[in-house]
Amino acid sequence: MSIKIAIQGVKASFHEEAAYKYFGQDIETIECGSFKQTCEMLKHGKADYVVMAIENSIAGSILPNYNLLRDYRFHIIGEVHLNIQQNLLALPGVKLSDIQFVESHPIAIRQCDEFLGEHPEWTIKEGMDTAGCAKKISEDKLTHTAAIASEYAAKIYGLNILEKRIETHKKNATRFLILANEVVEQKAANKASLSFQTGNAVGSLASVLQCFAEQNVNLSKIQSMPVVGRRNEYDFYVDVEWKKQSDFDAAIRKVLKHTVNFSIMGEYIKNEKV
């Protein structure tokens, strides 16, 4: 029986591509209208894993997803990087001059702002998902609307590519997390995602970061999020990488003395390939 992967979006979305890249082709993807819905699928056992975008090299961190990680407390068991190539898609026979509306996910729109800026006559509309916008054009036979989506979406939904590679920066990559209900132990783990809070004293965050530096553990990302309902208090989310497990273990022992609500959200193998 195929493993079930909950994805935000529909078939041919970047989340589905990321799922195939991490798990291979022999999977069943469950289409969800929101990231929260993917988490609900995993929580209630209707999916085995969730693939969730967490940051893009152009648009930055996807902050609402950090809130979902905090609320659901799933385990991060892996990551996957995907090179994002955006294209302008429309129904066969539709020309660039016919376009009045362009629809896509807000982050995809931001990734193509330079190209879209060359066409001030277009009305830009935000949709839930890149591939979902392509699907809508195909199903509703929208002759004045184009979607920003992948080449794969064009193929799946029978659309033409009016313009290829319209993303502003060609080195455009998204990092996705693989989430599970249970811890999956990985002996070769060399990366971890952690969350914690610090006191308000001067230098309290610096003390934590120093613990990692002293043990030769590299800090590859840090993200702060306000603690809901508590003024001037923040959750810190950090990703760290190491060469020796003993260095990481020693760093964690030190960090525990300087933090509260400390949590290892997952230890996994760093994904180098884009």
- 264 and 195 co-located in one domain: yes
- 176 and 59 co-located in one domain: yes
Residue 155's pLDDT is what? 97
For residue 92, pLDDT beyond 90: yes
- 260 and 238 co-located in one domain: yes
**Identity of residue 211:** C
Beta strands in 135-270 (DSSP E): 145-149, 160-163, 173-180, 191-197, 218-226, 234-241, 260-268
CB contact at 8 A, 113 and 119 = no
CATH code of the domain containing 67: 3.40.190.10
Identify whether 127 is part of a domain.
yes
- 230 and 264 co-located in one domain: yes
Give percent of the chain with pLDDT exceeding 70: 99
Chosen domain end from 137, 154, 180: 180
Identify whether 122 is part of a domain.
yes
For residue 200, pLDDT beyond 90: no
| 228 DSSP assignment | T
- 104 and 150 co-located in one domain: yes
Q: Rounded CA gap, 230 and 241, in Å? A: 31
Identify whether 111 is part of a domain.
yes
For residue 243, pLDDT beyond 70: yes
Average pLDDT of the chain, as a whole number: 95
Q: Could you read off the pLDDT of 148-195 as tens digits, one per residue?
A: 999 999 999 999 999 999 999 989 999 999 999 999 888 899 999 999
Q: Rounded CA gap, 51 and 18, in Å? A: 7
CATH code of the domain containing 247: 3.30.70.260
Q: The whole model's pTM is what?
A: 0.92
- 176 and 209 co-located in one domain: no
Query: What residues make up the domain containing 50?
Result: 3-83+172-180
Identify whether 137 is part of a domain.
yes
- 56 and 176 co-located in one domain: yes
- 176 and 49 co-located in one domain: yes
As for how many domains the chain has, the answer is 3
Laid out side by side, the sheet with 218-226 consists of: 218-226, 234-241, 191-197, 260-268
Altogether, the residues listed in the chain come to a count of: 274
- 251 and 235 co-located in one domain: yes
Q: 5 to each of 30, 163, 221, 258, how far by Cα in Å? A: 6, 31, 26, 37
Identify whether 185 is part of a domain.
no
For residue 273, pLDDT beyond 70: no
Confidence of residue 58 (pLDDT cuts 50, 70, 90): confident
Identify whether 186 is part of a domain.
no
- Provide the β-strand partners of residue 155: none
CA nearest to 192, candidates 261, 263, 272: 263
CB contact at 8 A, 267 and 184 = no
Q: Could you read off the pLDDT of 112-159 as tens digits, one per residue?
A: 999 999 999 999 999 989 999 999 999 999 999 999 999 999 999 999
Identify whether 207 is part of a domain.
yes
- What average pLDDT does the segment 211-225 reach? 97
- 105 and 60 co-located in one domain: no
Confidence of residue 213 (pLDDT cuts 50, 70, 90): very high
- Per the model's pLDDT, the better-predicted residue between 230 and 20 turns out to be 20
- 46 and 176 co-located in one domain: yes
- 43 and 61 co-located in one domain: yes
